[in-house]
Amino acid sequence: MFLRRLPKFDFHAPASLPEALDLMAQHGSGARFIAGGTDLLLAMKKREIAPGHLVSLAGIPFLKGIGPEGRAIRIGALTTLAEIERSPLVKEQLLPLRDAVEVMASAQIRNLATIGGNLCSAVPSADTAPPLIALGASLTLLGPSGERDVPVADFFTGPKATLARSDEILTSITIPKPEPLSSGCYLKLMRRHAMDLALVGVAVCLKLDGDRVCRSARIALGAVAPTPIRVPEIEALLINKRLDEALVAEAARIAGMQCRPITDIRASLEYRCSMVEVLAKRAVMEAFRRIAG
């Protein structure tokens, strides 16, 4: 496919967050923040947008890295998907997120794409959103009037739309450290085995007690509604019950009824609903297996 050249723009490389915010204030609606650029530059080539100024966040160290922060884990918004994939801390404590980044795009794209960019693109099939919702994560946004924290579950308002204002920077993602006897899973259905958008994404996080009774459950779906969604009906069904095949099958059936997908060139509404049921059952059972094992 022929790709046009990028439209003309001025490139700015601030070294700090205040400098980045000042540049955005100077140029207003004619400017856009850029992180990895894997989505933004493609949209510019297609002439979907044509900002006159790009404000790069790549030179701001505060926006990068993964590490513990009190009783939580902080991931800088400019941390790449490849860095998350390689992180021992993510592999040990944030398995649903690790599951997600492993099946996203190609290795080359994962070396460039950032977790903040994936979230701010706000496409319904964004893979990092469901696991972060299931993990109870929140986002920190910084703007001219200061910082504010937003739960990931509340961040998305529609396809390619979020609560973030154009003059705000997503600085970090904060994820509570998992409790003992808890784990999770993310499963993705795609047309190919790699490098494809999700037709359905299901993320599950469970906490059990010593008798393997479910004490908490968070379940999120991607690519089956205008935004990633939680499914409280399933969560309520599982909590305070000992998990078995029949209970999980009933929960998965409800999941297939709660989603609101569309029919498009990649899959029909009916197929997506059916696959939500299949993947929800597998994801719950895999989360259970990871805890029990």
Mean pLDDT, residues 159-184 taken together: 97
Report the C-alpha gap between 183 and 97 in whole angstroms: 11
For the question of whether the overall pTM of this predicted structure is more than 0.85, the answer is yes
Sole residue written with tokens 């569309």: 262
Which of 92, 103, 145, 157 is CA-nearest to residue 128? 103
Indicate if 67 and 47 belong to the same structural domain: no
Share above pLDDT 70 across residues of the chain, in percent, rounded to a whole number:
98
Report the C-alpha gap between 105 and 154 in whole angstroms: 25
Q: Round the CA-based radius of gyration of the chain to a whole number and report it.
A: 19
Indicate if 73 and 161 belong to the same structural domain: yes
188 neighbors 204 (Cβ within 8 angstroms)? no
Give the three-class secondary structure for 228. coil
Residue 57 lies in a domain: no
Indicate if 67 and 148 belong to the same structural domain: yes
Report the C-alpha gap between 256 and 204 in whole angstroms: 15
Indicate if 21 and 114 belong to the same structural domain: no
Sole residue written with tokens 């997908």: 261
Residue 3 lies in a domain: no
CATH number of the domain at 157, please: 3.30.465.10
Give the three-class secondary structure for 37. coil
Residue 1 lies in a domain: no
pLDDT at 19 exceeding the cut of 80:
yes
Task: For 216-229, write each residue's pLDDT tens digit.
Answer: 999 999 999 999 99
H, E, C per residue of 64-133: CCEEEECCEEEEECCCEHHHHHHCHHHHHHCHHHHHHHHCCCCHHHHCCCEHHHHHHHCCCCCCCHHHHH
Indicate if 197 and 285 belong to the same structural domain: yes
Indicate if 168 and 190 belong to the same structural domain: no
Residue 273 lies in a domain: yes
Indicate if 81 and 137 belong to the same structural domain: yes
Residues with Cβ within 8 Å of residue 248, at least 6 apart in sequence? 238, 281, 284, 285, 288
280 neighbors 251 (Cβ within 8 angstroms)? yes
Range of the domain at 138: 63-176
Look at residues 118, 150, 176 and tell me which one is the last residue of a structural domain: 176
Look at residues 176, 196, 216 and tell me which one is the last residue of a structural domain: 176
Residue 2 lies in a domain: no
Indicate if 133 and 217 belong to the same structural domain: no
CATH number of the domain at 288, please: 3.30.390.50
Task: For 67-123, write each residue's pLDDT tens digit.
Answer: 999 999 999 999 999 999 999 999 999 999 999 999 998 899 999 999 999 999 999
160-186 exposure pattern, b = at least 16 Cβ within 10 A, e = fewer: eebebeebbbbbbbbbeebeeebbbbb
Residue 265 lies in a domain: yes
Indicate if 72 and 115 belong to the same structural domain: yes
* Residue 228, amino acid: P
Domain count, the chain: 3
Residue 99 lies in a domain: yes
Which of 164, 169, 166, 167 is CA-nearest to residue 154? 164
Instruction: Say what the pLDDT of residue 195 is.
Output: 59
Task: For 121-147, write each residue's pLDDT tens digit.
Answer: 999 999 999 999 999 999 999 999 999
